[in-house]
Amino acid sequence: MWPFSSRSSQHRAMAPTPKDLPDCSEFEQNDNKIKVWLPQVLVDRVNWLSKTRDASRPDVIRALLFEHLYGRVAYEAIVKYVADERTEAALTLARRMQCASWSSAVEGTSKSGDIRKSTTRSTQVDLEWLGKSIDDLEVKLPSRMKMDLDKVSAVHNLTASSYVRKMLVLQLLGEITHSSWQKAVGAISRDVLLIEKA
């Protein structure tokens, strides 16, 4: 949360878990993919997050996209879900290893356990605001996320790849840059937009 906290108080009562969160188990397998063209300014920021968070670049984009599609609370819930699953798996492994060592001690023998060129990427306005898209990054996505991404992209009349690039501008460069870029994009004549969609 906010790093420059001015007080240490927090909500003391137990807060109910929201009932409308997505089922986290639907996001365990990355069985779909999307290719996204990114300008250097976005590549640099994805790389910075990848390094500082010790995560792969596709993991960075998946996390940003998940939060964008489903909200911050859903993102925090999926992080907790994965942490709980890993804790349970570690406890199960520890129990198995402990049982194996007990059984070895009883038998008096030692056993060893058995114990992952879009045409719209280089408009003059994009070149001016973001730079040329130079890096094509393939990102594997869970089917549920890909399906929801396709729905949201259609609402905005964009391809899934263009929508992800738009989302990354918003998430990585902020609303001030995003709104200025979108205002500049909106100033392109309809003829140019029609040519680019062809």
Q: What is the pLDDT of residue 178?
A: 76
Query: Which of 140, 136, 138, 131 has its CA nearest to residue 117?
Result: 136
How far apart CA 54 and CA 176 sit, in angstroms, is 28
Catalogue the long-range contacts made by 85-94 (C-beta closer than 8 Å, 24 or more residues apart).
none
Q: Look up residue 25 and give its DSSP letter.
A: G
For 1-37, b/e burial (b = at least 16 CB within 10 A) is eeeeeeeeeeeeeeeeeeeebbebeebeebebebebb
Torsion, Cα 182 164 126 45, to 10 degrees, reads 110
Whole-number Å distance between alpha carbons of 192 and 189: 6
Residue 168 counted as domain residue: yes
pTM for the whole structure: 0.69
**pLDDT at residue 118, rounded to an integer:** 40
> Does 72 reside within a domain?
yes
Is residue 131 in some structural domain? yes
Residue 107 forms part of a structural domain:
no
In the predicted structure, residue 197 carries a pLDDT above the cut 70:
no
pLDDT digits (tens, 9 = 90+) for 23-43: 888 999 999 999 988 888 889
Residue 67 within any structural domain of the chain: yes
> Is 70 exceeded by the pLDDT of residue 7?
no
Mean pLDDT of the chain: 76
Q: What is the number of domains present in the chain?
A: 1
Quickly state the pLDDT bin for 136 (edges 50, 70, 90): confident
> Is 160 inside any structural domain?
yes
**Does residue 15 sit within a domain?**
no
The whole domain housing 40 covers 31-83+117-197
